[in-house]
Amino acid sequence: KILLERVGEMPMPIEVEGKSKGGDITLHYIPMRIMRGEKRFTDKSVQVQKDWPWTHRKYEFAIDLKPSDIEWVKIDPSGRMADVKLEDNEQTFRGK
């Protein structure tokens, strides 16, 4: 499972990209519940997750990998979010 926490007061839809140790990259799109609709993707590898309610600071979703198979997970890979603290947008996994 991936756990995200909104820091600050601005709710936004989120894109989370993950790379497996085998080299596969998957994009997860998390729309906001307060939006009227959601972004459309033509790429079949994008996984649209359930809406994130703006009233909840934390959000969790499951991915199809064991923790030992994940190389990294990155929030906002396109760099288009209103984010002033970019250094906490990526988590690299080490180990087995």
pLDDT at 52: 92
How many residues are given for the chain? Answer: 96
At residue 86, the 3 state secondary structure works out as helix
* pLDDT higher than threshold 70 for residue 5: yes
Q: What Cα–Cα distance (Å) separates residue 95 from each residue in 67, 72, 91? A: 10, 12, 13
Q: pTM of the full predicted structure?
A: 0.83
* Distance separating alpha carbons of residues 60 and 1, to the nearest angstrom: 7
Evaluate whether 95 touches 68 at the Cβ level (below 8 Å).
yes
Q: How many CB atoms lie within 10 A of CB 7?
A: 11
Q: What does the pLDDT read at residue 45?
A: 76
Give the per-residue pLDDT at 96: 54
* pLDDT (tens digit per residue) in 56-96: 999 999 988 888 999 999 999 988 887 777 888 898 987 55
